[in-house]
Amino acid sequence: MLALRRGPRLAQALHTRRGAFSRPLSTQVPRYSAKTAVYTTAFVLSTGLFVVYYLDARSAIHQYVLTPVLRYTLDAETGHKFAVKVLKSGLGPRDPCFDDTRLKSELWGQEISNPVGIAAGFDKDGEAIDGLFNLGFSWVEIGSVTPKPQPGNPRPRVFHLPEDSGLINRYGFPSQGHPSVLARLRARIPLFQKEHENAALRPASILAVNLGKNKDSPADSIEDFVTGVRTFGPFSDVLVVNVSSPNTPGLRQVQMLHKYIRGLIDIRRGLQNRELLEKLLTGVTQARDELPVSELTSRRPKLVLKLSPDLDEAQLADIAEVIKESAIDGVIVSNTTIQRPTHLTAVNKSEVGGLSGAPIKPYSLKALRTLRSHLPASIPLIGSGGIFTGADALEYAKAGASFVQVYTGFGYNGVGTCRRIKDQLVVELEKEGTTWAQVVKKAVDELSLKPVPKPEPGEVTIDQLISEAQQLQGLLDKLEEKMDRGGA
């Protein structure tokens, strides 16, 4: 009887349990509502659109949102380092456009896609080379790199001057040293391709390494520069000899900034500093010429000297004489300035260090024009200082610069700076119905030092007149001395 009573209950329980496992799948899992599907689709699409927008360096979000946020939420140096890390990661924005043919330029017989480069100081240790090329720069210059690692000056050492579109830094060459930077340059080289068009590993582009001195090196020693040439020569297109930093003791003494004495006849007091510059240029060019041809590029690197905007006309003229007698391939004009224009209004205007950005532009242009007039057309000049727009770049071209570099403008206007300058430059060139190469050629031909014709037999030159004047002065001094003795 008990079994009979339990039978129907057991059967019912089994049926219920069996039904639980045999229900259609659609009744086990709740369906997504149409509303959820719409939200999901919108999220996916908006995320995709943001990624596309972020990866385009031209996007307004970079200039008007991300860059200002970095500038006002982080101190200047931390913001700088963050930007380098983003570009290093490979997740940075890119310039998606091809360069207009009007922007083609030429350096040392090599065609370059556009005339806009990034100056040394942004990527000090060669961490973000490809990230910078991705932004459209045709010249990426890393450094300054010192032989031994050094921390640079104490923080804080970088100061924004937003009201003046300027920047003051006293970094003092913080560097991870030659071995670390060299390792990064080696790591960029593809394993299965031995020869390349250039060390940039990009068509129509240039990779430059800016060479600096360690703080504890003797002021009159050139060994740090020579070592840099030997270390980075095989892995670079251009080596920049930086004797223009105001934040490292001794460099501007090499440049004859502080001890230089003017004059044609009384040159002995300035001879020591001139000889030091001659020694430097001779040493680095000899080291370059002794390098074997690079296995990477099948040639040796070009050598460029970087100068200060704080030199006067007489100093630049004498430096030009030394450059002409050397095998230096070009000159960058200029680095930061120790001068402080009276119109500066920013709170940080009195900080010690080198001033860059818009306030330096008049000084750099003046130095560029002066040097252009004292050098032959065969030695190209690269202009740097206060370039924010295409009009600024064109002004440098008309002053005799074959190429330009940006630094502070890049920091203020973000990753789209290079593309905006190039687009603005194209508009300016279209207005004038010309090209960058034509503007440069016209300016260089008109403003450069003209070759001095060889004197005809019997013709008297100015140098001969000066020499004869010196000899005559010597004779007069001796005559005066004899007359004084006779009178005594």
> What residues are labeled active site?
245
Which is it for strands 302-307 and 354-357: parallel, antiparallel or unpaired?
unpaired
- For the chain, the 3-state helix, strand and coil shares in percent, each to the nearest 5, are 50, 15, 40
Q: What six digits make up the tokens of 170?
A: 């006293």
CB atoms within 10 A of CB 340: 14
45 against 55, higher pLDDT: 55
Q: How far is the C-alpha of 349 from the C-alpha of 159, rounded, in Å?
A: 9
Beta strand 302-307 pairing with 238-242: parallel
* Residues forming beta bridges with residue 354, ordered by sequence position: 169
Distances (CA, A) of 479 to 103, 314, 475, 483, 486: 65, 33, 6, 6, 11
CA 305 – CA 277 distance, rounded (Å) = 11
Q: Decide which of 155 and 462 is more confident.
A: 155
**Beta carbons within 8 Å of 25's beta carbon, 6+ residues apart:** none
Write the CA distances from 49 to 43, 416, 433, integer angstroms.
10, 18, 38
Banded model confidence at residue 263, pLDDT cuts 50, 70, 90 = very low
Nearest C-alpha neighbor of 370 from the set 310, 329, 326: 310
Residue type, 105: S
**How many angstroms separate the CA atoms of 324 and 343, rounded?**
37
The percent of residues above 70 in pLDDT, for the chain, comes to: 79
Identify the pLDDT of residue 201: 96
Phi, psi (degrees; rounded to nearest 5) at 150: -150, 145
Measure Cα distances from 321 to 237, 294, 328 in Å.
25, 30, 12
Please give the class, per CATH, of domain 47-447.
alpha beta
Q: How far is CA 42 from the centre of its chain?
A: 42
Quick one: what percent of the chain has pLDDT higher than 90? 67
CB 256 within 8 A of CB 308: no
Residue 2, pLDDT above cutoff 60: no
User: What's the chain's average pLDDT?
Assistant: 85
480/66 Cα distance (integer angstroms): 77
pLDDT tens-digit map of 85-108: 999 998 899 999 999 999 999 999
Alpha helices in 64-190 (DSSP H): 67-73, 76-89, 129-133, 178-188
- What are the Cα distances from residue 405, in Å, to 273, 392, 480? 29, 11, 58
Higher pLDDT among residues 418 and 194, named by residue? 418
CA 353 – CA 160 distance, rounded (Å): 12
Q: Is the pLDDT of residue 155 over 90?
A: yes
Six token digits for residue 39: 């939200």
DSSP string, 285-318: HHHHHHSPPPTTTSSPPEEEEEE-TT--HHHHHH
- SS3 state of residue 194: coil
Longest alpha-carbon distance in the chain: 164
pLDDT digits (tens, 9 = 90+) for 329-344: 999 999 999 999 999 9
Question: Residue 6: is its pLDDT beyond 70?
Answer: no
pLDDT at res. 25 = 46
pLDDT tens, position by position, 105-121: 999 999 999 999 999 99
**SS3 label, residue 166:** strand
